Structure 1
Amino acid sequence: MDIQIKGDLDGISDQQLDFIRRKIKENNIKGKDATVSVIGQAGDNFGAAVRVISIKNEKEDFKIIVKVTSNVTRLLNETNILAVITFTNEITMYKEVLPMMTQLQKNVGIEPSDMFPVPICYGASNETPHEIILLEDLRKEKYVMLDKFKPLPNDTIKLILRTVAQYHSLCFVLKEKCPEEYTGFCNKLMNMNAVETLLQYTQTFKTIGQQISQMFEDKLTANIIVKTINEQIDKKFRMEKSEKGSKYLIIVHGDCWTNNFLFKLEGDKPTKCIMIDYQLVKEAPPVIDIFYVIFNCTDYETRAKHYYEWIDYYHSQLEINLDVHGLKIKTTYPKDKLESDLCRYAKNMLGTAIISNSLMIRNNEEIAKIKETMSEAENIGHFAESFNNMSGLHVETVLLIKQRIVDTIKSCIDFGYLNPNKYI
């Protein structure tokens, strides 16, 4: 007899419910009925609708995280814009890339407790428009999400960078030891047919830059915002083309910020973390993830004190993890190449951080309003308009956005990545 599924089924299709029933049976999960409920807040996951399914059995409820396409993601997919933001990426990671990384670690005798941590994937399907991923509910292991509004302290950033370095090392190992498989993964993750479509909508992001700049009375700051974002958009495809085929490219996570890590705490202190949400993975230089963490998760004072320490720490952790697999840091990703990439991509990632901070640190009410407006959009033009809208934000949100942007610009100037005299 098929398990009965009830609860909050809004946005979950009959095909997805059938898939859930099949995977419960295939994974030998016992239970007679299951209840689906919403998990988290509106701002916790932008590109997917996330539910938790509780399967009742004699001992205790067995819980599975269910990710299905949201109306926002469905609109993006229907218009073929930003094709890398699809479930195909995450499904490829959970079904193919991450399992191969786990096997590579087993091959060299790494203990399970020391392996790169990955949630169990109970099943995934990219059948359009019924995409679905079933994942382990890490809350049973006492993992939690930290407050996205609070800058992370030094110890937590080092914990994240250690995890990122371990993931990056496995990307390099995969590329070196399984080149055909690695290339195949990259081809799946990168839909080059989308580039032409993306080019049609670059004006959308330039408009976002214009609107953000209008929040600032200081002309220098406003000029830096507009010009940095415009330069980022104009140079993006040229930079990607020039790097194509480089030995230093890997499959980066692409969205390394607070909400995409879960943490296990001892008291109030994070001691372990797990990377989640692989929807933005792509082939790019490792510094993309490093900058994303530092620019989106820390404040000015902590960056000023620890930035160079973080870079050294990341590189040392990368070396340690590469060495286990017989790869040498000097030929895989030497320190001078890391420093060169930091200089090359800093302004590009500043532009990304300006846009991401204008969205990610809105409160849950504001994010919910954006998602509702986007889900009702009739076409990609209306979608862009709702995304661009900076009006209606709470005063506290505006102040926080402005502070984050100003402080990130100051950091880039301090580190020598940005010359303000060019923007006067």
Structure 2
Amino acid sequence: MSYIIDIPNTIRDHLKEHIENIAKSEGFLKYKCDVQKKYKNGTNFLGEITEVEIIGETIIGAKEIHIFVKTKPSVGSNIKLLSINDVYSRELYAYKELSETYKQLQEEANVPYEERYTFIKCYEESNIDTIILEDIAKLGYENWNRLEIISIDFAHKCIKQLAKFHALSFVLEKEKLDYFNCNIKLLKYPFIFNDEYVAFLKNMYETCINHLEGEYRAKLESVRDICEKYYQFVNNSSVIRCLCHGDYRAMNIMMKYNNGEPSDVIPLDYQFIFYGSPVIDILYFIFGSTDSNFRREHLENLKKLYHETMEEFLDYFKMDINLYFPRKEFDKSYEESLEFGLMVAVWYLPVNLADSDEVLDLNKTSLAEASFSANERVKARLEDIIDDFTVWGVFKTDTTTDALPDTKCM
């Protein structure tokens, strides 16, 4: 069988080989490719993003497929706070192995298809250097705008998916304990608390402090030394733990609309998966994507939805949630980890809400040297969160500087 191939010469040789293999496995007899490198502001800083459209003829007629490729940086990386090889290995494992394991567990339990946790298609050609996925944007899915507050409908879908993702970790531990111990329990938090990371935390903290005034500034100054506590939260072995997503932000979850309402969501970006407290994912999602009005109206209901969804999902596997993550333990873990939400705001909102011309590119700039000017969006979100933490009793209502216990890591 002969193939007629039209692939641009501008793409890297290894990607060209992957495209050829995918085209053959998809039954193309002749085809051409449209290849576009993407530089999406604020959406990825761990590699090069390429979108590929393959259009051609098969034995049964015309066909086209769309793939999304994430490739390791082609030049030396400035990233020192994590291992690029490690995070690509984690994502490859999630898409190629864990997805199949979770699919099998759900099939064996007869979970209705519409209730299952799903991953997007990952092509067999994916390896530790290149992750090749189906481009579901061409199927009508889209990213949430990272600068906007999420809608309650979107939040409902995302929280339910997160509950199922965490529940499947408990299922895996019960059904395949040896596998779980060898593959999941060993996944430590991927970020390395070295000098660069500490410098980044200091930098973000000072950026936020300098943009606040009056009581807001005084309250944030009262928690200056919280780096060590951050490390304790993500490495806490005294709480119930499971496989966590590690980067559960609205912009890492694609949604599909039906009649103007979100009808389906699919989480992406599993490069930071780790074994830790499931509450960390919840706090990261809530405090990275909502404001005070949203939390006041919906937070308690979302917590309830999370736990009820997990309970219902575990029922398919004949598992009693009270033996794995009872509501009392969930609430206790949430309350004890609440300060992590403040840390998310201080250290990541300046990055996530940066103006387009300030989006961080770690392939060009060291994290320790990165600079941001906290804009009005960041200021408003920070003030909202400080107000909430005052109501919740984390901050005192005055401006004294003993609101949280000291930890010394800087």
Give runs of aligned pairs for residues 64-79 of structure 1, distance below 5 A.
64-70=67-73, 74-76=77-79, 79=80
Q: Using the TM superposition, give the Cα deviation of residue 178 of structure 1 relative to its aligned residue in structure 2, in angstroms.
A: 1.2
SS of residue in 2 equivalent to 1:64: strand
| 2:258 matched residue in structure 1 | 266
Distance in 1 (alpha carbons) for counterparts of 2:292 and 2:322? 31
| 1:407 matched residue in structure 2 | 384
Given the alignment of the two structures, is residue 175 of structure 1 paired with residue 173 of structure 2, yes or no?
yes
CA offsets 1:270-299 (integer angstroms, 9 cap, x no match): 121111111121111111111112111112
Change (3 A) 1:65 1:390: same
One-letter amino acid of the structure 1 residue matched with residue 161 of structure 2: T
Q: Using the TM superposition, give the Cα deviation of residue 84 of structure 1 relative to its aligned residue in structure 2, in angstroms.
A: 8.6
The answer (yes or no) to whether the contact 1:4–1:34 under 8 Å persists in 2 is: yes
The answer (yes or no) to whether the contact 2:283–2:340 under 8 Å persists in 1 is: no
Change (3 A) 1:161 1:346: same
One-letter amino acid of the structure 1 residue matched with residue 169 of structure 2: C
SS of residue in 2 equivalent to 1:47: coil
Higher relative contact order (CA 8 A, sep 6+): 2
Q: Using the TM superposition, give the Cα deviation of residue 151 of structure 1 relative to its aligned residue in structure 2, in angstroms.
A: 0.7
| 1:236 matched residue in structure 2 | 230
Given the alignment of the two structures, is residue 390 of structure 1 paired with residue 372 of structure 2, yes or no?
yes
215, 234, 246: which one pairs with 1:254?
A: 246
Given the alignment of the two structures, is residue 123 of structure 1 paired with residue 124 of structure 2, yes or no?
yes
Given the alignment of the two structures, is residue 323 of structure 1 paired with residue 315 of structure 2, yes or no?
yes
Give runs of aligned pairs for residues 183-194 of structure 1, distance below 5 A.
183-186=181-184, 189-190=187-188
SS of residue in 1 equivalent to 2:338: helix
Change (3 A) 1:84 1:18: closer
Distance in 1 (alpha carbons) for counterparts of 2:115 and 2:302? 21
SS of residue in 2 equivalent to 1:423: coil
Range with greater deviation from structure 2 (36-45 or 276-285): 36-45
Change (3 A) 1:31 1:222: farther
One-letter amino acid of the structure 2 residue matched with residue 171 of structure 1: S
| 1:36 matched residue in structure 2 | 35
| 1:394 matched residue in structure 2 | none
Give runs of aligned pairs for residues 8-47 of structure 1, distance below 5 A.
9=11, 13-28=12-27, 31-39=30-38, 41-47=40-46
Distance in 2 (alpha carbons) for counterparts of 1:325 and 1:49? 40
Q: Using the TM superposition, give the Cα deviation of residue 168 of structure 1 relative to its aligned residue in structure 2, in angstroms.
A: 1.1
Q: Using the TM superposition, give the Cα deviation of residue 166 of structure 1 relative to its aligned residue in structure 2, in angstroms.
A: 1.2
The answer (yes or no) to whether the contact 2:78–2:364 under 8 Å persists in 1 is: no
Give runs of aligned pairs for residues 15-164 of structure 1, distance below 5 A.
15-28=14-27, 31-39=30-38, 41-58=40-57, 59-70=62-73, 74-76=77-79, 79=80, 81=82, 86-123=87-124, 125-127=126-128, 131-164=129-162
Distance in 1 (alpha carbons) for counterparts of 2:316 and 2:76? 39
SS of residue in 2 equivalent to 1:93: helix
Q: Using the TM superposition, give the Cα deviation of residue 46 of structure 1 relative to its aligned residue in structure 2, in angstroms.
A: 2.8
355, 359, 375: which one pairs with 2:363?
A: 375
Q: Number of residues paired by the alignment?
A: 395
CA offsets 1:384-419 (integer angstroms, 9 cap, x no match): 20x2x124xxxxx71111001111222223234444
RMSD: 2.7
Distance in 1 (alpha carbons) for counterparts of 2:130 and 2:174? 31
Q: Structure 1 unaligned segments of length 5 or more: list them.
A: 392-396
TM-score, normalising length: structure 1: 0.84
Distance in 2 (alpha carbons) for counterparts of 1:102 and 1:325? 13
Distance in 2 (alpha carbons) for counterparts of 1:228 and 1:16? 47
Distance in 1 (alpha carbons) for counterparts of 2:153 and 2:381? 20
CA offsets 1:67-114 (integer angstroms, 9 cap, x no match): 1124699432xx463569721111111111121111100011123333
Change (3 A) 1:81 1:120: closer
One-letter amino acid of the structure 1 residue matched with residue 363 of structure 2: S
Pick the structure with more helix per residue.
1
